Amino acid sequence: MIGFLQEIFNLFKPHVTLDLSKHNGLSAKARGIPAYKGDISICVECKSCEAICPTHCIEVQSEKISFDYGACLQCSLCSDICENNSIFESGFVDVYSASRDDLKVNYNSSGILESSKDLPQAIGTLKEDTIYKLVHKNGFNFREVCAGSNTGVEWEIGASFNNVFDMESIGVRVVASPKHADILLVSGPISENMHHGLNVAWDSMAKPRAIIAMGTEAVSGGLWKHGIFPDTPKFWIAGDPPRPDVMVRAFLTFMGRRDFDFKVKWLEFLKQGT
């Protein structure tokens, strides 16, 4: 009887599952990727951010400064050490794209070098792939391989299926065998001991199939030397590790159910926020 009354009570409780389909990629309580607004001539003389970056994702050159956000740990060491306040925490956490090069951004003293009209829509290339036709309507099954990961990604994947983020509601399901998977989700820098196992998992999958690189280590190697993928990933999701809400929004983008292009959105953010 008590259980029945509890169920009646639950019918009137507000739902707790977040609507992540229209999120703008910002999180007020997160560090996010570092943004740049400064004088290149001063930065060339300093280079302290380049020296302190643990993954070497920052390169200061004579006329520009480059950030590889696919290698960024979002640790904020660069913004902490910058005496000129040229680098600052953005709170921007949605760092993913169908193009690896899309996660690399160049700045000069005037801001980001690319203009919106010059930016390719990275998701457009994905829509031409056979895997897109499969996942767009039906969602997908994935098999995750921990290829030398620190298990941070695995913890966040588990959290993404709770009732707050509810990954399965968008059609994304985890399966025990790569034989039943459409997507091979790879975490970690692909260590030498995991290279063979990763290839076996990939060879076991039926076509069409695709690889998604999940986490900074899988995207760039992070602190470690990067191994070799069995095939070029169709989608790259940075973060160390990516948060569950970032994973859900990234998969919605991958399936073409959300309008998002990283570099376009980042440029819009810089224009509005700085």
Structure confidence by residue, pLDDT tens digits, 169-188? 999 999 999 999 999 999 99
Question: For position 129, what pLDDT does the model report?
Answer: 84
Question: For position 224, what pLDDT does the model report?
Answer: 93
How buried is 233 (Cβ within 10 angstroms: 0-12 exposed, 13-18 middle, 19+ buried)?
buried
Distance CA 44, CA 98 (A): 32
Is the Cα dihedral 225, 184, 16, 97 positive or negative? Answer: positive
Spelled out in words, what is the top-level CATH class assigned to the domain 34-93+104-112+262-273?
alpha beta
Q: pTM for this one?
A: 0.90
Query: Each residue of 96-116: pLDDT tens digit?
Result: 999 999 999 999 888 777 665
Return the domain boundaries, the chain.
34-93+104-112+262-273, 123-254
Report cis status (omega within 30 of 0) of the bond before 208. Answer: yes
Distance CA 129, CA 34 (A): 32
Between the alpha carbon of residue 102 and those of residues 218, 222, 261, 265, the distances in Å are 16, 17, 9, 11
Which of 31, 119, 105 shows the shortest CA–CA distance to 70?
105
Question: For position 27, what pLDDT does the model report?
Answer: 83
Topology (CATH) of 123-254: Rossmann fold (3.40.50)
Question: For position 118, what pLDDT does the model report?
Answer: 58
Distance CA 203, CA 205 (A): 6
Q: What DSSP letter does each residue of 194-255 carry, written as one string?
A: GHHHHHHHHHTSPSS-EEEEESHHHHH-TTS-----SS--SEEE-SSSPPHHHHHHHHHHHT
- Quick one: tokens of 222? 């992070």
- Quick one: tokens of 84? 């000129």
Pairing of strands 235-237, 96-97: antiparallel
Which of 173, 164, 176 shows the shortest CA–CA distance to 139?
173
Please identify every stretch of the chain with a pLDDT value under 50, giving residue numbers as ranges: none
- Quick one: tokens of 189? 């820098």
Distance CA 123, CA 189 (A): 24
What single DSSP character describes residue 22?
Answer: T
